C-alpha cells in the first residue's frame, strides 16, 4: 500500500462520522405505498406478490417498518424502496440503492444468504462494501427468523422497479470501499442478538428491537472520531444511548442520567410519544419526527411497551440519589418563585425572564407547564435540562413542527425567533428556562447561540436537497 493510499484512508476514516451521522438523519417523508397485487406487466419478475395474508410476508412488512427501510430507500414521488435518495455529505453524495425485487434494478438476483450478508455484514451481492450510511452494524443483531421474513417481504411484497438508482460517485479517496474492511474490523460486532436469560422475555424483546432492527443507537449513541458508535449495547457500557448530536439536533439520552430523562417517563407516556410524537409534557422534533412518522407509530403496542420497559431499565439505580422527574417538577412548578414573579410582573427590563414573558409565556405559560399535547411543559423537561443545549438553541432560532401521525395528525408548530431575538437574548431566555421551575441545566452563552445560528445557514440549503 503506497503512502497516498494510506493518507487517503486516514482522510476517509476522519470523514466517516459525517457520512454515518448525516445519512442516518436523512429521512425522506415518504409513506410506504401498499404493494400492488399486480406488478407492472412489462417487468420480468421471477416472483409475483403473494397474497397479503401470508403471515411471514406480513411479519417482514412489519420489520421493514421497525427498520425504517423506507425513509432512506425512497424519494418523494417515486415508488417505495426504489432508492435514489441522495445523502449529501461534505465530500460527495451517497445515493441509497433500489431494494425492490427487480433483478436488474434492485435485489431480484440476491439469494437469501446474500441479502442477509448485506444487512448484517455490509457486503453487497457483488462483494463491494457498503458505507455505514446503511445501518448494518445494528441490523447484524437481527435474528434468522426475522431476516427470513424481511427477505420474503422484499422478494414478494414489494412492487419491482426496474430503474437502478443513480450510482454513488464519491471522489477519490472516498470511493475506496475496501477501506470499510478496516472500519468493520473495529466496529462491526458480528452475531445476532443473544437474549439475557436473567431478564424477562419482554425486556429481551425491547432490547432486541432497540439494538437490532430499530437501530436507535445509530442516532442516540455518541460516535468515535472515525464514525463508529462508541457502545453498541447495554453490555458495552454507559455510553450506549447516552445522547448524541445528529444532523444538528441533540438526540436525547434514552437512559437514566444525572438529569431528568425520558427513562423516568411512565410506560404509557413513552408508548404515546413513539405513537404520536407528543405526550402531555413534551413533543418530538428534529430527526425524531420522521422516525415517529415512518417507523414507531406503526409498531404494535406490546412492542412499544417492551421498548419502554427496556429503556426504563438502562442506567437505573434503584438506591441512588433520585433525579427529580418531569412529572414531579411540573406538579411543583405553579408554586415556584419564578412562576410567581412572572405572574406578578416583577421581572427586570433586560432579563431572561422578560424575554420569556414577551416571547414564550403565551404558549409555555408562566409556570412552565405548557398545555397538554399542544405546548410542551418546560418545567422538568429533558430537552431543557439536557447537557448539550444544541436542540434548545435551534428550536428557538429556527422553530419546529411535531410529527403528523394517524393518532395525532396535526403538526403543531413552534415559531422561529431567530429573526427577532439576538444571540444574547436567546442565551438569556434559555439560561432562564434552564434555571427556573426546578430545572438544573447550565447557562447558555451567546457564543453557543452564534455557533448554532452559523450552522443553520448551510443546513438550510443542503438538507433534503431533492
Angle subtended at Cα 280 by Cα 294 and Cα 433, rounded to the nearest 5 degrees: 105
Pairwise CA distance, residues 126 & 137, whole Å:
19
The three cell numbers locating residue 140: 447484524
* Nearest-approach distance from CB 131 to ligand HEC, in angstroms: 4
Residue placing its CB nearer to ligand HEC in the complex, 108 or 319: 108
The grid coordinates listed for 46 are 421471477
In whole angstroms, how close is the CB of 241 to ligand HEC at the nearest point? 9
Q: Shortest Cβ distance from residue 248 to ligand HEC (Å)?
A: 9
Q: Name which of 8 and 257 has its Cβ closer to ligand HEC.
A: 257
Residue (of 146, 133, 132, 35) closest to 81 by Cα position: 35
In the complex, the smallest distance separating the C-beta of residue 219 from ligand HEC, rounded to whole angstroms, is 3
Measured from the CB of residue 265, what is the shortest distance to ligand HEC in angstroms?
Answer: 8
Alpha-carbon distance 463 to 287, whole Å? 12
Least distance to ligand HEC from the beta carbon of 331, Å? 17
- How far apart are CB 163 and ligand HEC at their closest, in Å? 14
Least Å distance between CB 401 and ligand HEC? 5
> At its nearest, how many Å lie between ligand HEC and the CB of residue 459?
14
Residue with grid cell 406538579, as numbered in its chain = 331
Residue 156 zone, left/alpha/beta (φ > 0; ψ -120 to 50; rest): alpha
Alpha-carbon span 391 to 462, nearest angstrom: 19
Burial class (CB in 10 A: 0-12, 13-18, 19+), 31: exposed
CA angle centred on 354, ends 362 and 460, rounded to 5°: 70
Name the residue nearer to ligand HEC (CB basis): 80 or 284.
284
Can you read off the three cell numbers belonging to residue 277? Answer: 410524537
* CB-based contact 380:325 (threshold 8 Å): yes
Q: What angle do CA 383, 21, 262 make, to 5 degrees?
A: 25
Alpha-carbon distance values, 445 to 247, 428, 432 (Å): 21, 8, 12
Q: Please state, as a whole number, how many other Cβ atoms lie within 10 Å of the Cβ of residue 85.
A: 26
> CB-wise, 197 or 393, nearer to ligand HEC?
393
Buried b (16+ CB within 10 A) or exposed e, 230-243: bbbbbeeeebbbbb
Cβ(262)–Cβ(382) below 8 Å: yes
399 contacts 411 by C-beta, under 8 angstroms: no
Say how far apart CA 120 and CA 16 lie, in whole Å: 19
Residues 6+ away with beta carbon under 8 Å from 185: none
Sign, Cα dihedral of 362, 368, 370, 373 = positive
Closest to ligand HEC by CB, 319 or 394 = 394
Cβ nearer to ligand HEC, comparing 38 with 183: 183
Min dist CB 255 to ligand HEC, Å, is: 10
Cβ distance to ligand HEC smaller for residue 197 or 358: 358
* 286's grid cell: 428534529
Closest CA to 397 of 464, 452, 462: 452
Cα 337 from Cα 65, distance rounded (Å) = 46
Q: How far is the CB of 344 from ligand HEC (least distance, A)?
A: 20
The neighbour count for residue 185, using CB atoms within 10 Å, is 8
Nearest-approach distance from CB 370 to ligand HEC, in angstroms: 8
Amino acid at each position: 500500500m503506497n503512502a497516498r493510499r494510506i493518507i487517503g484512508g486516514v482522510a476517509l476514516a476522519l470523514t466517516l462520522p459525517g457520512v454515518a451521522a448525516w445519512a442516518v438523519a436523512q429521512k425522506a417523508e415518504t409513506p410506504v405505498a401498499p404493494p400492488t397485487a399486480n406488478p407492472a406487466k412489462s417487468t420480468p419478475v421471477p416472483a409475483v406478490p403473494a397474497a397479503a395474508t401470508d403471515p411471514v410476508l406480513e411479519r417482514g412488512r412489519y420489520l421493514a417498518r421497525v427498520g425504517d427501510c423506507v425513509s432512506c430507500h425512497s424519494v418523494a414521488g417515486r415508488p417505495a424502496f426504489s432508492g435514489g435518495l441522495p445523502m449529501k455529505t461534505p465530500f460527495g453524495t451517497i445515493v441509497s440503492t433500489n431494494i425492490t425485487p427487480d433483478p436488474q434494478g434492485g435485489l431480484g438476483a440476491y439469494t437469501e444468504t446474500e441479502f442477509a450478508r448485506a444487512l448484517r455484514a455490509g457486503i453487497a451481492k457483488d462483494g463491494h462494501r457498503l458505507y455505514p450510511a446503511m445501518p448494518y452494524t445494528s441490523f447484524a443483531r437481527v435474528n434468522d427468523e426475522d431476516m427470513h421474513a424481511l427477505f420474503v417481504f422484499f422478494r414478494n411484497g414489494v412492487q419491482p422497479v426496474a430503474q437502478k438508482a443513480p450510482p454513488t460517485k464519491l471522489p477519490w479517496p472516498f470511493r475506496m470501499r475496501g477501506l470499510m474492511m478496516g472500519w468493520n474490523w473495529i466496529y462491526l460486532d458480528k452475531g445476532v442478538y443473544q437474549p439475557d436469560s436473567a431478564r424477562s422475555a419482554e425486556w429481551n424483546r425491547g432490547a432486541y428491537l432497540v439494538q437490532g432492527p430499530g437501530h436507535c443507537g445509530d442516532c442516540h449513541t455518541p460516535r468515535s472520531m472515525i464514525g463508529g458508535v462508541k457502545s453498541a449495547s447495554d453490555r458495552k457500557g454507559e455510553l450506549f444511548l447516552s445522547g448524541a448530536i445528529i444532523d444538528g439536533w441533540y438526540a436525547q439520552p434514552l437512559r437514566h442520567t444525572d438529569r431528568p430523562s425520558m427513562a423516568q417517563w411512565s410506560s404509557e407516556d413513552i408508548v404515546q410519544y413513539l405513537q404520536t410524537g407528543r405526550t402531555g409534557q413534551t413533543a418530538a422534533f428534529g430527526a425524531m419526527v420522521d422516525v415517529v412518522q415512518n417507523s414507531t407509530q406503526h409498531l404494535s403496542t406490546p412492542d412499544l411497551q417492551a421498548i419502554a420497559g427496556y429503556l426504563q431499565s438502562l442506567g437505573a439505580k434503584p438506591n441512588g440519589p433520585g433525579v427529580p422527574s418531569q412529572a414531579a417538577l411540573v406538579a411543583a412548578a405553579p408554586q415556584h418563585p419564578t412562576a410567581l414573579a412572572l405572574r406578578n410582573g416583577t421581572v427586570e427590563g433586560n432579563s431572561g425572564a422578560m424575554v420569556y414573558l414577551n416571547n414564550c409565556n403565551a404558549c409555555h405559560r408562566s409556570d412552565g407547564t405548557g398545555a397538554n399535547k399542544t405546548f410542551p411543559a418546560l418545567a422538568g423537561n429533558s430537552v431543557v435540562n439536557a447537557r448539550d443545549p444544541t436542540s434548545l438553541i435551534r428550536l428557538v432560532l429556527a422553530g419546529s413542527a411535531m410529527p403528523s401521525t394517524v393518532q395525532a395528525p396535526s403538526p403543531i408548530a413552534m415559531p422561529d425567533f431567530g429573526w427577532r431575538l439576538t444571540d444574547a437574548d436567546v442565551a438569556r431566555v434559555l439560561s432562564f428556562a434552564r434555571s427556573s421551575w426546578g430545572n438544573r441545566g447550565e447557562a447558555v452563552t451567546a457564543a453557543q447561540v452564534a455557533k448554532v445560528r452559523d450552522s443553520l445557514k448551510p443546513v438550510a440549503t443542503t438538507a433534503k436537497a431533492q
